[in-house]
Amino acid sequence: MATHRQSALPPRRAIQPSGRIARGEVSAASSQFERGLSWMRFPPRLEKQYLNDSAPRRVRYFLISGLLALFVFNGFLLADYLMAPDVFMLAVKVRLLWFSPFAIVMLSVTWWLRHQVPKRISPQALEYLVLLSGVLAAACLGYILSVSRAPNSQYYHVGLMAVIMYGNMVQRLRFWYALAFSLMVYAIHIAGVLTVPVFNHRLLVPMVALLGATVVFTLMANYALERDGRRQYLLSLRRKNLLLDLGEVQARLQQLSRMDALTGLFNRRHFQQYLQQTWQRARHDQDTLAIIMLDVDHFKRFNDRYGHPAGDQCLMRVAQALQDKLRRPGDLVARYGGEEFIAVLPHADADIAFKAADRIRQAIADLGIAHEDSDTAATVTASVGVATCQVHADMREEDLIAAADAALYKAKQSGRNRVEVRTL
């Protein structure tokens, strides 16, 4: 059974669940995006979380699109046959026996290790795989065309446009990887047009310009897509943080609704709820239960003599004494109203409850708070009423509270600064 202890509410500490980024860091990244984030990167911690969060989806997409791209890549054997028939068998070997086994192994390893990303394998490894596969596909195409002497093979360099679009638009490499990938493929293209034996040099500028335009336009689109994706991620993260903040505020408000603002103890409402729950358990187990009710002696006189601020300080010190002396698991102390306090003690018979109540009474007397208008003592004292019972089906918790109140009244009538016990 949980131990219920009260204290003044601690300073607010932000909850940091796994995957949550501090609000300030998210706001700073958002401001950078509004101004224009040319380097396409978040602050380090946010960047790491962004890559980790997007990794599972990118892995799944890579596997599906990579498999489809492999079929498309090998489907271009038809173009090889029509435009470079003299090296068709070489094309079959390069596409089916060289590149395809590599791609199948790469896809298989990725599928096998898909659950390790990003736990043990960095999400950037996927970017390198896409970049490598795209560059190898371009290199295979360049190699085939470099040895072909067919008249139409010089036009086949436009096939590299499909490779660039695959990396930049289909796989959507991160922008900096897409830039490196595009420059490598473009370099393969330039080397190819300069070394193809039958290349018409009047086509040099149009071919280079056409592929160059493809590089520029696909990179612009890639940049815009990644920028929008990062902005959407920021908005999603801000919404998530807002929901967490709202949940935290709701929890704090719920906590405050159960607490007494002055003493830091639970309030009467929460005490009644807790007593009802404890009563149900005790009735089910036919267990003993005790209630301690306490009243500060002559407190109105204390307030009149020393003022309300001093009265508040007095109640706070009395509340602390109650907390210090009731530390058993399940014990709960509450402010019942004004200068009255109440406590519930599960699994407590009359002897246990009386000893606990007398410790509280003595602790309050030992505080030594001056009370010159008291008829009982020169310092603040308290009268305590205790009621105990073994809970059974015919009893109600209100009966136990009434018995404790009656015992408290008897303690006052008997001279105050004492403990009276009633057993039901």
Domains and CATH numbers, the chain: 23-243 (no CATH), 268-423 (3.30.70.270)
Q: Are strands 419-423 and 382-390 parallel, antiparallel or unpaired?
A: parallel
Tell me, what's the pLDDT at 99? 94
Alpha-carbon distance 247 to 216, whole Å? Answer: 46
β-bridge mates for residue 294, sequence order: 341, 384
Continuous segment of H or E residues that includes residue 384: strand 382-390
β-bridge mates for residue 88, sequence order: none
Q: How far is CA 396 from CA 123, 333, 343, 424, in A?
A: 62, 20, 17, 11
Continuous segment of H or E residues that includes residue 389: strand 382-390
Alpha-carbon distance 332 to 322, whole Å? Answer: 10
Tell me, what's the pLDDT at 151? 81
Alpha-carbon distance 349 to 388, whole Å? Answer: 6
Cβ count near 255 (within 10 Å): 11
Cβ count near 380 (within 10 Å): 25
DSSP 8-state code for residue 158: G
Residue by residue, pLDDT tens for the chain (424 residues) are 333 444 333 333 432 323 556 566 666 666 666 666 657 788 788 888 888 888 888 899 999 999 999 999 999 999 889 888 999 999 999 999 999 999 999 999 989 988 888 878 888 888 898 899 999 999 998 888 888 888 887 777 788 899 999 999 998 999 999 999 999 999 998 887 777 666 677 777 888 899 999 999 999 999 999 988 888 888 887 787 777 778 778 877 777 778 888 888 999 989 999 999 999 999 888 899 999 999 999 999 999 999 999 999 999 999 999 988 888 888 999 999 889 999 999 999 999 999 999 999 999 999 999 998 888 899 999 999 999 999 888 888 899 999 999 999 999 999 999 999 999 8
Active site residues: 339
Phi then psi for residue 384, to 5 deg, are -130, 130
DSSP 8-state code for residue 157: G
β-bridge mates for residue 288, sequence order: 390
Alpha-carbon distance 159 to 342, whole Å? Answer: 85
DSSP string across 21-77 = --HHHHHHHHHHHHH--TT----HHHHHHHHHHHHHHHHHHHHHHHHHHHHHHHHTH
CB 357 within 8 A of CB 374: no
Tell me, what's the pLDDT at 15? 26
Continuous segment of H or E residues that includes residue 382: strand 382-390
Q: Where are the alpha helices (DSSP H) in 97-203?
A: 100-112, 124-147, 160-165, 175-195
Per-residue b or e along 99-121, where b marks 16 or more CB atoms closer than 10 Å to that residue's CB: beeebeebbeebeeebeebbeeb
